[in-house]
Amino acid sequence: MTNKPGIGGLKFNESEVWDRSKKGRCAISLPKSDVKESRLDNSLIGDVPDLPQLSELDVVRHYTHLSQWNFGIDSGMYPLGSCTMKYNPKTNEIQANRQGFAAAHPFCGDQFSQGALKLMHTLETFLAHITGFDAVTVQPAAGAHGELTGMLMIHKYHEKNGRQRSKIIIPDTAHGTNPASASLCGYDSVKVSSGPNGILEPDAIAAVMDEDTAGIMITNPNTLGLFENNIKKITDIVHAKGGLVYGDGANMNAIMGVVKPGEIGIDVLHLNLHKTFSTPHGGGGPGAGPVAVNKILEPFLPVPRIVKETTKDKETYKFITHSPDTIGRMHTFYGHFGVLVRAYSYILSLGGKGLCDVSKLAVLNANYIKEKLKGTLNLPYDLPCMHECVFNDRIQKEFGITTMDMAKRLLDYGFHPPTIYFPLVVDGAFMVEPTETESKESIDQFIDAVESIAKEAKTNPEILKSAPHITKVTRLDEVTAARKPCLKG
Amino acid sequence: MTNKPGIGGLKFNESEVWDRSKKGRCAISLPKSDVKESRLDNSLIGDVPDLPQLSELDVVRHYTHLSQWNFGIDSGMYPLGSCTMKYNPKTNEIQANRQGFAAAHPFCGDQFSQGALKLMHTLETFLAHITGFDAVTVQPAAGAHGELTGMLMIHKYHEKNGRQRSKIIIPDTAHGTNPASASLCGYDSVKVSSGPNGILEPDAIAAVMDEDTAGIMITNPNTLGLFENNIKKITDIVHAKGGLVYGDGANMNAIMGVVKPGEIGIDVLHLNLHKTFSTPHGGGGPGAGPVAVNKILEPFLPVPRIVKETTKDKETYKFITHSPDTIGRMHTFYGHFGVLVRAYSYILSLGGKGLCDVSKLAVLNANYIKEKLKGTLNLPYDLPCMHECVFNDRIQKEFGITTMDMAKRLLDYGFHPPTIYFPLVVDGAFMVEPTETESKESIDQFIDAVESIAKEAKTNPEILKSAPHITKVTRLDEVTAARKPCLKG
Amino acid sequence: MRYLPHTKEDIESMLQITGHKTLENLFDSIPQNLKTNTGINIPDSLSEWDLNSHMIELASKNIPNKNYKYFIGAGSYDHYIPSIIPYLISRSEFMTAYTPYQPEIGQGTLQGIYEFQTMVAQLLGMDIATASHYDGGTALAEAALISLRTHKTANTVAVSNLVHPSHRQIIQTYLRPTQFKMVQIPSTKDGKTDLKALKSMDDLAGICVQSPNFFGNIEDFKQVRQICTDKNALMIASFTEALSYGLLKNPGGFGADIVAGEGQSLGISKSFGGPGLGLLTGTQKQMRNLPGRLVGKTKDINGKRGYVLTLATREQHIRREKATSNICSNNGLCAMTAGIYLATTGKIGIRKIAQLNHDKAIYLQNSLKEVGFIPAFNTPFFNEFVMKVPKGFKTKRNALAKKQSIFAGIDLEPFYPELKNHYLFCATETISKEDIDHLAKEVTS
Amino acid sequence: MRYLPHTKEDIESMLQITGHKTLENLFDSIPQNLKTNTGINIPDSLSEWDLNSHMIELASKNIPNKNYKYFIGAGSYDHYIPSIIPYLISRSEFMTAYTPYQPEIGQGTLQGIYEFQTMVAQLLGMDIATASHYDGGTALAEAALISLRTHKTANTVAVSNLVHPSHRQIIQTYLRPTQFKMVQIPSTKDGKTDLKALKSMDDLAGICVQSPNFFGNIEDFKQVRQICTDKNALMIASFTEALSYGLLKNPGGFGADIVAGEGQSLGISKSFGGPGLGLLTGTQKQMRNLPGRLVGKTKDINGKRGYVLTLATREQHIRREKATSNICSNNGLCAMTAGIYLATTGKIGIRKIAQLNHDKAIYLQNSLKEVGFIPAFNTPFFNEFVMKVPKGFKTKRNALAKKQSIFAGIDLEPFYPELKNHYLFCATETISKEDIDHLAKEVTS
Ligand SMILES: Cc1ncc(COP(=O)(O)O)c(C=O)c1O
Ligand SMILES: Cc1ncc(COP(=O)(O)O)c(C=O)c1O
């Protein structure tokens, strides 16, 4: 590949922050004290925490250098499957940082929080429209937190019906958070395998669904990037036995305006605002995992809920905490409000039609990559895909090259690698989700890179095995890290 | 040197912006049109400028990549002599970007611009206190612009006295802007050499000063980092012959609180807010070059001027444009207001005492480097220095190594090189100005780097001649660039 | 739309490759009956400029007067945030990265979080700090679950009723579907956890006490530790005001097994309650029981220092249904923010600022005393305390909030019905003497 | 102080090396009589927090109402600035770098400015654009000097009196000490430069006409070019509204030799008039006469594409007293900003936004007509125009400014005494129909 995005350049070593410390420095501006000092009883006072002592410039350089070692969406294509790494618009940051939002105290009272309440309430309505559900809570703090919220509601539902159940059906393609969330509700996961073409088969579900099973957790489109065509049959089977259907909506980016989970038998669904709705992932959160439900489950939504009261002359919004069947509270306050502001801004910026375009183009990009690369990499399921496509290293294995090697080599080419070794059903999975904000040009560059790496796998496998070469550090010893954990300095 | 700051890492190639262009893209959000379109006569309408067509993410990635190729103060030590590259506090940016300042229109009228007027007037007072002058204008847009302003005032002064003069004395150590500014006023530069110990000798001045000479331009501390000890004698000589003394205050960072130019015979002085007063240099400006004058020259200050009117119940500020002897206007509006806000914030943050500390520590850092490195590099003038010290490559020459080679090698070590080949009186000058915001640790690292490079000069000169090695590009062909200029794509 | 780079030509040439006529055809494989025909009922795209006006309007509905003054805390605190923090944190290399699954290009996040773990462990006096949880409440719920899961026999956790009310509710929510129970420890009339009552409780897997507690009062962790040892229960310490440990003896010092709490005070904006920062720390012994991400230090194959996510075998993506928790995305950028804040304040700043919080709170309490407010307890506190208010206060308070955006105390009755006319007050370093004097005048006049 | 890293120990150990007892001793070499004993009479250091309050207060004294509306331009224009621009420009790698004297680590600035030069040349239809000047006025003064310096015989430059008044004043200031003269070209009653009068002027080195001119009217560059040719004078075109060339024929198209003007409209905030962006461009023939920085494209020794500052032999640091100008630091970051703005608007956006400016201005003029304002001229304009106002307007205008931060027109009398009761109005894309209707109502009622 001629002129790959990745090249070497000058970066900076940076010691651990305390190695910059020098007794007597302080980087914060100390507010002047205008009242007299009041000493607490000595028995209550502790030693001063031994934090580093730096100047303001020390701090700025330290974190500037650290940032320069990171790869973000603004640095290049980030086709991390199942993560929907789309462009995070800068205007959303401006909105979230407005004093009226950023400085709002959660206990000012409804009367003084109308802006925040209206925003959250409107966002709930938007998300209900997008997913086809009757009610939404924006309280959950992340996708997994949304899953737990949803599963708690299912659990409470069965309890309310007077007979709790003990199991939950989870496909082998599910994300790890699904079974983990179910376990937190005391449900045993019953694993079902997807069929020969990567999607669930009704018979498989029918075979395990019974009156002791609370329901099923389905990710649709699933983590192979395939749409679960039998979803309606499956939900019927589950419903027929009194179970409920949990939908993992992390992949909603594929189907906005095309399919509404609420219309095809899903009872409860979570969304990842930090995926589909462009809020930055921040190197590990914060995200937000709103949960949408149908009428049956609405009574179980967590509190507080937001209601709108319209009198002829004005609208007012308020929190209500009294809700007899609620599962209770999931967050200390009302969820990740700052993240909600960003998602709300994104939805307004795209508009209803824009969101439909998003899904079409996301799916176009994924299918384009699938078609272009399927000769180069093995494609376990050669079917029309949705937002992502999953390859593996079967072809390269013969040269002793693994998915890991190819991923690391992609770093030298200047790309963030795809998600690897997930989903577990594909061994050596190489899971590519381009998202709609990548242009044809950058996608073609990515395709070139993968093709050229596939060539190298034949002609020069060593360069892959020893990759990456131009990053600040190369492959790290994760085994020792886990065997002799060093978790602080 | 073990563990030098500079290391290699992953960066990104970036084409020229138009190579990213694709017909039909637009990265700006188009305001909706709520009025009907009115066509101008076709004869007036031009072809659409052929600007690149990009998406928002294209723009963000393009400029993010470009930024990653740059070295700023936040990246590391930047000891560029005569440039005072100190830390640029982030809070100053916050202040300058407040809507009340950033969105202020210059023609709102005094009544609606009291905040801006008060800020500028107060800043003028502060600068007068710091420099010991009677009046200040903050209108000049940069140091050289300040020089021109000052020289125009001197010119007008002589004119007013009924006899214009034709020459101006300029020491060989002066910055290039000095003679260039004088030329703009039609003065011929009379060059005087500094004496054996790098400063001007009264006799040399006396020898050239006459009734046809408008005065002298002196930089003090001078560009060798030395204080002009004979300044008083010199100003007396010049004044005795009816000349005036222009002071280049670009190096004010050395003497705040120690010497006030206005008290030692200087008649007019410019300051560089983008040096002494921490405003960011922005890769080539914008800066600001306020000019301070004594009573004699005050009538000649450029218009508009800002005056304060105090009535018992309130203070008001206003612009006055009528000023019979003024040299006229230097800027379309009132100068680089946004830069003034930053400098004003800096002065308030340091306070009077803090500014004195600044100079002491800046001078301490420079003397420390001078002492530590004088064995390693040749020190043409081994005298107590002020804010900077000037070495050269005399020792390394013997291995065929030049200042240029050492500068380029410093890049591999992760430091911005000092100013090189200036001042012209020192051949192969290597001019180090650390500023007060560099800690002893970073200065010691710099010293280590220079020492280790000096060793390499002996043991491995090739590595210096071929430096830099880890930057995105290495030495560029400046000759062809100038011979066959390619100034646009 | 400026976020969507595809031109008509791009779409056509790509559709040729994928073998579809139109974009709609990409979804042909989905059965028709599953597709929606209701569209998306959301207004058309707003321009960036209309979005700005809309959001300015909406934001202004929250805090009308920009010179707001908060005399309230209760889990969300108004502290100064140095301008370098928003700048550094907004650098896209931090802001737009995913969880560092590829450590070679995530060293910025990884070293930053490793340093955060270290400084938080320092602050709380614990061996191990996790990379972050959603908030104080969810972190505390995880702590409760650890004690319950790891205890041989007991299936009850005792939680002081002076733990933040929301935190107790979250624990309830998390425990409901399990076989575990939560019992509440009553409080004494001097506003502290009733340790005598605690002594009489049995079969406890864990005992959870917050200090400073919801009333702002400092609890007696020494005794709590003793009781935990006697009852062979895990000592779980919690907090909502992280800055208090710039001044107070930290829970680690008392031998807490697990410390969980809220880190919002460490440079994170209030943002109507979230995102904050869930801190969860433990002793070495708890290492493998602690849920959530952990960054560890290691070397690359050339021996260069580097950092990785480690001990993943506790986590959902490896252990799936057997994981210690379902947590995946956490509050990484808030942890990075707190890390920068701790490095910025440093050893000198953290103590000075903590002391200042205490000084202002004492001055506030004295000022209110002088105008007829009565301290509900005389127990040492950090920057929050409870006062019985004179009558007529409620209306005055609302007027102040409405006219001047001054928020004077939180009515405790909704949380503790027995505390009619009791308000929880707070003062931080952002409150000046002048502000306090002004408040005192306003609430009397 | 947080900006000063030196600890007591640092200072002591460093003084040992330098051989001084105290910091004061560092200045012993300076004769005592030269030292000041008046100290620095400036208040003590403000904390970051007190600085914030102080600046918020000061800033609020400027534009009390944040929903300001500007119906004024006159060289400073209110245009939308996309949020990506402040973000990108504030990245410290751009913001805190010096002029790229070491190109190997300044490629970001260098390529960015090279692209800026290219796009500006494109916008104005010229061969060469310099890297930037201080503002439109100083750039124009440099242009005038070029014509005067390079002309064999003439020593006069003719400047239309419809060139921005400040620009004319700056030219005056710059010419005063020289042997050069400036003469003004009168204007016609349809608000354009009087070209007939110009024809009668002789011995001109350069002729300078602004379009759109200070009244907003579009000048006849075709004729100007003809006259310049006949008189063998350099044609210098100037402008204050760079966006107008998104719609209008550009000066290069008419054969201007030099084009100088203000680039503030290209993504730069008004900031009370500065820093703006001085644009100075010329034909190939003028290359070596153009003062200011120029970035050129070249290769490194490995043949890699790269950029450098070039043609430095024109500049003060090489040529010293013989330099084409004394300019050194210019407005680099503003040029980078404009470059980003031009790349963001692009070919599609620049035309749409320019057209929108014109549409709003026309709508504004019509609305004002309907309420009794009379157009001073009927000459085509871009986004500014002059109206004769009904009496009583001045007071209404002030009230509007005071109460609603609406600034309706600039009184032209101070600039052109003959134009009593004439105001210069402007409308840009930031003004909505609603705003205009509101203004029309306010100025009648
Ligand atoms: C399919 C799926 N479900 C759930 C999750 C969990 O979301 P979160 O990380 O926000 O908890 C993810 C995140 O990677 C996911 O990809
Ligand atoms: C001594 C001296 N004088 C004058 C100047 C010119 O200042 P400016 O670049 O702001 O025009 C400089 C800048 O390098 C300088 O160092």
How confident is the model over A181-231, as pLDDT tens digits?
A: 999 999 999 999 999 999 999 999 999 999 999 999 999 999 999 999 999
Minimum-distance CB partner of D83 among A57, A58, A91: A91
**Phi and psi for D58 in degrees, rounded to 5?**
-65, -45
**Residue range D114-120: mean pLDDT, rounded:** 98
Cis ω on the peptide bond leading into residue A423 (within 30° of 0)? yes
Q: Would you call C287 an interface residue with chain B, using a CB distance cutoff of 8 Å?
A: no
Mean pLDDT of chain C: 96
pLDDT single digits (tens) B78-108: 999 999 999 999 999 999 999 999 999 999 9
- Measured by CA distance, the residue closest to atom 7 of ligand 1 is A143
Q: Which residue has the tokens 């990506």?
A: D84
pLDDT category at D322 given cuts 50, 70, 90 is confident
> Cβ B472–A9 below 8 Å, yes or no?
yes
Average pLDDT, chain A: 97
Does A436 contact chain C (CB < 8 Å)?
yes
Quickly list H helices, B103-254: 114-131, 143-160, 177-184, 202-208, 231-240
pLDDT of residue B423: 94
C84 interfacial to chain B (CB closer than 8 Å): yes
Q: Compute the distance from residue C113 Cα to the ligand 1 centre, in Å.
A: 21
**Contact criterion met (CB below 8 Å) for D114 and D176:** no
Q: B68 and A68 in contact by Cβ < 8 A?
A: yes
Q: What's the residue count for chain B?
A: 489
Angle at C402 between CA C397 and CA C406, to 5 degrees: 60
Mean confidence (pLDDT) of chain B: 97
Q: pLDDT (tens digit, 9 = 90+) per residue, D272-283?
A: 999 999 999 999
Q: What is the pLDDT of residue A63?
A: 98
Q: Is A353 exposed, middle or buried (0-12, 13-18, 19+ CB in 10 A)?
A: middle
DSSP letter, residue C387:
E
Name the residue among D302, D321, C10 with its Cα closest to residue B177: D321
Q: What pairs with residue B136 in β-bridges?
A: B292
A320 in contact with chain C, both atoms CB, cutoff 8 A? no
Q: Distance between CA atoms of A168 and A156, rounded to whole angstroms?
A: 14
**What is the structure's pLDDT at D318?**
83
Give dist(CA B96, CA C135) in Å, integer. 35
Band (B3; pLDDT cuts 50, 70, 90): confident
- Amino acid identity at A53: Q
- Among B63-72, B449-458, D62-71, which is the least confidently predicted range? D62-71
Secondary structure of chain D as H, E, C letters: CCCCCCCHHHHHHHHHHHCCCCCHHHHCCCCHHHCCCCCCCCCECCCHHHHHHHHHHHHHCCCCCCCCEECCCCCCCCCCCCCHHHHHHCCHHHHCCCCCCCHHHEHHHHHHHHHHHHHHHHHHCCCEECCCECCHHHHHHHHHHHHHHHCCCCCEEEEECCCCHHHHHHHHHHHCCCCCEEEEECECCCCCECHHHHHCCCCEEEEEEECCCCCCECCCHHHHHHHHHHHCCEEEEEECCHHHHHCECCHHHHCCCEEEEECCCCCCCCHHHCCCCEEEEECHHHHHHCCCCCEEEEEECCCCEEEEECCHHHCHHHHHHHCCCCCCCCCHHHHHHHHHHHHHHHHHHHHHHHHHHHHHHHHHHHHHHHCCCEECCCCCECCEEEEECCCCHHHHHHHHHHHHCEECCEECCCCCCCCCCEEEEECCCCCCHHHHHHHHHHHHC
ipTM of the complex: 0.97
Q: Which residue of A has its CA nearest to B412?
A: A10
Q: At what angle do helices D332-370 and D107-124 cross, to 10 degrees?
A: 30
H or E segment to which residue B218 belongs? strand B213-219
pLDDT of residue A353 exceeding 70: yes
Q: Which amino acid is at A297?
A: L
Residue C193 DSSP class:
B
The band of A61, judged by pLDDT with boundaries at 50, 70 and 90, is very high
Q: What is the Cα–Cα distance from C23 to A366, expressed in whole angstroms?
A: 12
Nearest Cα neighbor of D408 from D417, D418, D399, D419 is: D399
pLDDT at D66: 73
pLDDT, tens digit, 9 for 90 and up, residues A285-307? 999 999 999 999 999 999 999 99
Q: Which of A135, A136, A145, A352 is nearest to A250 (CA)?
A: A145
Collapsing DSSP to helix, strand or coil, C22 comes out as coil
Strand A291-293 to strand A244-248: parallel, antiparallel, or no bridges (unpaired)? unpaired
Nearest CA to D308 out of D322, D320, D293 is that of: D293
Interchain proximity A6–B6, CB inside 8 Å: no
Alpha-carbon distance of B451 to B445, in angstroms, equals 10
pLDDT exceeds 90 at position C299: yes
Residue with CA closest to ligand 1 atom 8: A143
Which chains have 3+ CB pairs within 8 A of B? Answer: A, C, D
Buried b (16+ CB within 10 A) or exposed e, A115-131: bbbbbbbbbbebbbbbb
Nearest to B9 among A55, A57, A472 (CB): A472
Closest CA to D279 of D129, D386, D116: D129
**Residue A421 structure tokens:** 């070794």
How far is A470 from chain B, CA to nearest CA, in Å? 5
| Set of chain C residues whose Cβ sits within 8 Å of the Cβ of A97 | 86, 269
Distance from CA of B476 to the nearest CA of A (A): 16
Nearest CA among A392, A71, A287, A430 for reference residue C102: A71
Contact A101, A338 (CB under 8 A): yes
Torsion of CA C359, C362, C367, C371, to 10 degrees: 170
What sign does the CA torsion over A310, A316, A322, A324 have? positive
Note whether A6 contacts B10, CB cutoff 8 Å.
yes
Over 90: is that where the pLDDT of B2 sits?
Answer: no
Nearest CA in chain C to D430: C49
pLDDT of A470 higher than 90: yes
CB atoms within 10 A of CB C55: 25
pLDDT at C320: 85
Q: Report the residue count for chain A.
A: 489
- Please give the Cα distance from B320 to B101 (Å, whole number): 21
The DSSP bridge partners found for residue C282 are C128, C258
State the nearest Cα–Cα gap between D90 and chain C, in angstroms.
Answer: 9
pLDDT tens digits for range C153-201 = 999 999 999 999 999 999 999 999 999 999 999 999 999 999 999 999 9
Among the partner-chain residues A24, A32, A94, the one whose CB lies closest to the CB of D7 is A24
Query: Where does the pLDDT of residue C283 fall: very low under 50, low under 70, confident under 90, or very high at 90 and above?
Result: very high
For residue range A435-449, list pLDDT tens digits in order: 999 999 999 999 999
State the pairing for strand pair A291-293/A268-270: antiparallel
CA B54 to chain centroid: 35
C165 vs A contacts (CB less than 8 Å)? none
Under 8 Å between Cβ of A144 and C316: yes
Q: Which of A260, A335, A344 is nearest to A290 (CA)?
A: A335
Q: What sign has the CA pseudo-torsion A363, A368, A373, A374?
A: positive
> Any CB–CB contact under 8 A between D433 and chain B?
yes
pLDDT of residue C64: 67
Q: What percent of chain D has pLDDT over 70?
A: 99
Burial classification of residue A395, based on how many CB atoms lie within 10 Å of its CB (0-12 exposed, 13-18 middle, 19 or more buried)? middle
* Residue A17 C-alpha from the chain's centroid: 30
pLDDT in tens, A173-182: 999 999 999 9
Q: What is the pLDDT of residue D64?
A: 67
Ligand 2 atom 10: residue of nearest CA: B143
Using the structure block, give the residue that is written with the tokens 């080679």: B405
Closest CA to A119 of A145, A146, A92, A143: A92
Contacts with A186 (C-beta within 8 Å, 6 or more apart), sequence order = A155, A166, C177, C178, C179
